[in-house]
Chains A and B, each alone.
Chain A
C-alpha cells in the first residue's frame, strides 16, 4: 500500500517558509498579496466557469456571441431602419459600444449572486473570496475578447479602417473598464449576502444604466444640446461607462461628424470632437480614479466578509 508518490518528494526545512497570518481583519496590502498569490486559482475558476456554462451544448462558447448578435440586429433594425436615426453605419456604432456594455453587464449580473450561490464553497474552503467575483469578470473578459475579434472581422468585411492613431488609448480604457466592473462586482457580491434583493435590484439598475450610456443613441446628436443649455453636461459624464464607450466608438467607429443618411444630407455630430490628448488625459484620469475605487471595493469587501459565515 506504500505508493511511490512520496518518493520523489523532498522536504525542505520549514524554518524559512513564509508565515501566513489569519487574523480579524486583513489589511489592504495583505488582501492584494493574497489575491496575487492565488492568481492561478482565478484562471482555473474562469475557465471552469466557462466550461460548465457551455458543457454539453453543441455550439459551445459561440452561444456567448449569439445573444449579443441578436441584440445588435434588433437595435439596428429598430433605431436605424424603423426609427431612422440617420447615423450611417449604425451597426458598427452600436457594436463598438455594445462590446463594452456587454462586458460590464454580464460580469455584474453574474457576480452579484456568486457568493450566495457558492455558499458551500465559501464556508468550507479557504481562498480570497473576492476571487469568485473576479472569476465572473474574467469570464466576461473572455467573451469580450471574442466579441472584439468578431468586431475586427466586421471592420475588415465592411472595409472600415479603425482610428489607428487612437488605438493606443484603448488599453487605458479597457483597464478602467475592468477595474470599474471588478469593483462593482466585488462589492455587489458581498452586499447580496446580506440583502438578497440586490440581484433583482441590480437588473433594474443596469437597465437604467444602459439607457444612461451612449450605446444605442449618440450623446452629441441627441442630448448634448439641451444639457449644455442647462449647464448639466458634466452630469452625463459622471457615468464612467460613458467615457469608455465613447473611446471605443472613437477608435472603431472613427467619425465624429457624419453626413446624415436621412433628412436631406444634413451634418450631424456623433462623437465629441475632442483632440487625442483630451481622450488620453480623460482615460488616464479615469484609470487613476478606478484604481482608488477598486482598492475601496476591496476594503468594503473585507469589512463585509467577516460575517459571511453567519449569513450564508
Chain B
C-alpha cells in the first residue's frame, strides 16, 4: 500500500468581486469601487488515499467537493497547504473539455491524451482500444463538432479510462450515455479496482458510494466532517443534509423530528426467509408534522434491495413520541444481513428526518437458491 494522494492542510479561498471592473476605463476611473469578499471554499482538508482504494467524496452542492477535486487535479492551486500525488492521474472532470470541435475524433484523442500528460507513443498503443470502447469507429475521422453529445462524452471517457492512469478521478460523470454504456463504465471502474488502482469518486448519490467505495469523505461548507467507513460517512452526510434542510425550510417552521429507535414486538430482528415480520419506528416530533414515511433496505455490500415509494405512506406526527408500524408480510430475501434505513420526507421528497442503519435484519434461508431474492421458480419440461 502506497499513499498516492496526500492532502495536507489544504485551504482554498476565492475572492468574490461584487462589481466586476474588467475594463481599463473602469479600473482607472474607479480604482477602489466594487467590494471584494473572501469566500472560504475549503478549510484545512487533510486525508490520504492509498493504492487499491476507492474513496468517495460526498457533499451537496456548494460543499466544496468540486473545488477539492480541482485542487487535486491541479486545475486550481490551494491558497495554503499542499497536495502530493504519486503516479499518473486522469480526471473525468468535465468530459471533453479539452476537445477542439474543429478537429477530427482521431486528432482529439491525441490532443486530449497530451493534455492528460500522455505521450503520442502511449496513445498510439491504446488508440484502437479507445476507439473500440467509445463505439464510434465509423466517425473517428469526422470533425467532433458533428458528434452527438453522447458520442462526444463517450470518446472523452474512453480516452480517460484507457490511458491506464494510476489514479482515476471521477466527478459525477457516470450518468453519461445510455444504460449499457454506463454499465460498461462501472465495469471498467471495477476492473480498475481489481488492478489495485486508486479511484476518487465525487458524487452526491449515496447509492454510487455504497456500491463502489471502500471509504467515504464528507464535505460540508468547505470542511471535512467525516472520513471513514462508507456506512458511517453516509450517516453523517445525511445528518448534515438534514441540518441544512432545517435551515432552508420554506415555511419557516422549524421541523424537529428525531427517529429514536426501531423495535420489534418479539425483540428480535432474526427472520426466516419467506416469513413475515413487523417492527415499530419510534419517532419524537417537537411539533405536529404531516409527511411521508420512507424505508430503504440494503445488503451489507451496499446494494439497494428496495426503496419504498416516497409519496406512498403518509404519516401525521403529533408533538411528542409517535410510533409508526411497518408490516412486512413476507420477506423473500435469501441468507444474509440486511440494513434498514428509515426516514420521514416531505411532499417534495426532501428528507426531514433520517436514520441510517436503523435496524439490521438477519435472514436465514434453508433453500438452495443463490443471490438476494427467492423467486421460487418452478421449472417444467414441455
Enumerate chain A interface residues (CB-CB to B < 8 A). 1-6, 8-9, 11, 13-15, 17-26, 37-38, 40-41, 44-45, 48, 51-52, 55, 120-121, 123-127, 194-198, 201, 305-307, 309-311
A3-B129, A123-B75 given. 12 additional CB < 8 A pairs? A4-B129, A20-B85, A21-B84, A22-B84, A45-B111, A123-B97, A124-B97, A125-B93, A125-B97, A126-B75, A195-B23, A197-B24
What does the 1/0 interface line of B178-198 toward A look like (CB < 8 Å)?
000001100100010001100
Chain B residues whose CB sits within 8 angstroms of the CB of A194 once the complex forms: 22
**Bound complex: CA of A124 vs CA of B129, how far in Å?**
25
Max chain A CB contacts within 10 Å: which of B4, B84, B114? B114
CB-based contact B82/A21 at 8 Å: yes
Contact (A41, B24) CB under 8 Å given A124-B94, A125-B93, A126-B73: no
Q: State the main secondary structure of chain B at its contact with A.
A: mixed
Minimum Cβ distance to chain B for residue A312 (Å):
11
Contact A197 B97 (CB under 8 A): no
Partner of A22, one of B72, B117, B119: B72
The chain A residue sitting closest to B16, CB to CB, is A310
Give, as a whole number of angstroms, the nearest-CB distance from B137 to chain A.
14
With the chains together, A307 CA to B100 CA distance in Å?
25
Interface centre among B75, B110, B132, B187 (most CB of A within 10 A): B75
Check B22–A195 contact: CB distance below 8 A: yes
Least CB separation from B183: chain A residue: A1
* A11 / chain B contacts, CB cutoff of 8 Å: 195-196
**B93–A1 touching, CB < 8 Å:** no
Determine which of A2, A22, A24 lies in contact with B74 in the assembled complex, contact meaning CB atoms within 8 Å: A22
A132–B164 alpha-carbon span in the complex (Å)? 26
Q: How many residues from B make CB contacts under 8 Å with A?
A: 62
Chain B residues with CB below 8 A from A26, complex form: 77
Chain A CB within 8 A of B27 CB: yes
C-beta contact mask, B1-34 vs A, less than 8 Å → 1, else 0? 0101000000000111100001111010000000
Binding site for A on B (CB under 8 A): 2, 4, 14-17, 22-25, 27, 51, 70-87, 91, 93-94, 97-98, 100, 102-103, 107, 110-111, 114-117, 119-120, 125-126, 129, 132-133, 143, 162, 164, 166, 183-184, 187, 191, 195-196
A14 touches B51 (CB 8 A): yes
Which residue of chain A lies nearest to B120 when distances are taken between CB atoms in the complex?
A: A40
Q: Which residue of B lies closest to A305 (CB)?
A: B77
Tell me, in angstroms, the Cα distance from A208 to B61 when the chains sit together.
50
CB-based contact A195/B85 at 8 Å: no
> Which residue of the partner chain, among B75, B84, B126, B196, contacts A124 with CB atoms under 8 Å?
B75
Closest to A201 in B: B24
User: Are A51 and B119 in contact, CB atoms less than 8 angstroms apart?
Assistant: no
Which B residues are in CB contact (< 8 Å) with A1?
183-184, 187
